[in-house]
């Protein structure tokens, strides 16, 4: 279904038969795979209520586009075509115009990421302190490559650009939390802890507000 992205993805592409499944975050994926349906979708009342409260902060309600996309992602786990269509109807613009905005920003995902999204900073200040080795270490521990998701959907791994924590390099962000001054032992402890949390069905901390 997604050969286009697999070819574009760069390093590895699809790895059949391995324990890992690819986690696509290439914004071009929906462009090729989305089926835009003609039906108008509506946003549910609580969603709309929150959105309207945010819109009141701006002279032009279109400014609430980013907060609206965050709300959508918080509700559905990622940005779905249906969600974008609903927002398009709400803002009275075309679905492609919503998608155009969403695909510009790296924090919006177009396929379900792992329940724990690991984002390792790879930019120079972290690289000088061993970010490359952090990535290798996590890849080996989880048996996945960068840009992939573990087969049980627990973890996904990405490298990202500077997260503004250069004094505590190397560092990574897992969901909303920063983990800094990483060592091998610490990475192991963090991964174990997150896996234990998963086992005990602890609710994943999500962003509050929007």
Partner 1 sequence: MVDAPSYGVGTDWRRFEPVLLRLMDVEGSETLSVYRDHGGYTALEKALAESAPDELIELVKDSGLRGRGGAGFPAGLKWSFIPKDPSLPKYLACNADESEPGSFKDRYFIERDPHQLLEGMLITSYAIAAELAYIYIRGEFVHGTRVLERAIDEARQAGLIGKNILGSGFNCEVYVHRGAGAYICGEETGMLSSLEGMRGEPKLKPPFPAVKGLYGMPTVINNVETLACVPHIVQYGAEWFKSIGTEKSTGPKVFCLAGHVERPGLYEYPLGISLRDLIEEVGGGMLGGRPLKGVIPGGSSTAVLPPDKLDTPLDFESVAEAGSMLGTASLIVMDKTVCMVKAAANLAHFYSHESCGQCSQCREGTTWMAKILDRIEAGRGRKEDLDTLLDMCHSMKGTTICFLSDSAAIPTEAFIAHYGEEFEQHINEGRCPITPVERLR
Give the footprint of partner 1 on this chain (CB under 8 A).
57-60, 62-67, 69-70, 100-101, 104-108, 122-125, 127-130, 133-134, 137, 160-170, 173, 176-178, 182-184, 207-210
At 190, list the tokens.
């963090």
Q: Which is nearer to partner 1, 19 or 53 (CB)?
A: 53
Q: Which is nearer to partner 1, 32 or 105 (CB)?
A: 105
Q: Which is nearer to partner 1, 41 or 66 (CB)?
A: 66
Report the nearest approach of partner 1 to the CB of residue 38 (Å): 25
3-state secondary structure the chain: CCHHHHHHCCCCCCCCCCCEEECCCCCHHHHHHCCCCCCCCCCCHHHHHHHHHHHCCCCCHHHHHHHHHHHHHHHHCCCCHHHHHHHHHHHCCCHHHHHHHHCCCCCCCCCCCCCEEEEEECCHHHHCCCHHHHHHHHHHHHCCCCCEEECCCCEEEEEECCCCCHHHCCCEEECCEEECCCCHHHHHHHHHHHHHHHHCCCCCCCCCCC
Report the nearest approach of partner 1 to the CB of residue 171 (Å): 10
Report the nearest approach of partner 1 to the CB of residue 124 (Å): 5
Q: Which is nearer to partner 1, 32 or 58 (CB)?
A: 58
Report the nearest approach of partner 1 to the CB of residue 127 (Å): 5
Report the nearest approach of partner 1 to the CB of residue 1 (Å): 26
Q: Which is nearer to partner 1, 156 or 173 (CB)?
A: 173
At 127, list the tokens.
């690289």
């Amino acid at each position: 279904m997604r050969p286009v992205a697999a070819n574009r993805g760069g390093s590895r592409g699809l790895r059949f038969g391995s324990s890992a499944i690819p986690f696509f975050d290439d914004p071009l994926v929906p462009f090729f795979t989305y089926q835009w349906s003609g039906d108008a979708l509506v946003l549910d009342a609580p969603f709309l209520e929150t959105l309207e409260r945010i819109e009141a902060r701006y002279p032009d309600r279109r400014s609430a586009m980013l907060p609206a996309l965050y709300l959508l992602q918080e509700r559905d786990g990622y940005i779905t075509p249906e969600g974008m269509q609903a927002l398009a109807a709400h803002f009275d613009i075309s679905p492609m115009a919503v998608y155009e905005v969403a695909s510009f920003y790296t924090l919006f995902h177009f396929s379900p990421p792992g329940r724990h999204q690991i984002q390792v900073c790879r930019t120079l200040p972290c690289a000088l302190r061993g970010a490359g080795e952090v990535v290798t270490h996590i890849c080996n521990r989880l048996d996945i490559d960068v840009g992939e998701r573990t087969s049980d959907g627990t973890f996904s791994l990405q490298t990202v650009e500077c997260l503004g924590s250069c004094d505590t390099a190397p560092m990574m962000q897992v969901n909303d939390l920063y983990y800094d001054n990483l060592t091998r032992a610490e990475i192991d402890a963090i991964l174990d802890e997150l896996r234990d949390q998963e086992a005990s069905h602890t609710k994943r901390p999500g962003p509050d507000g929007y």
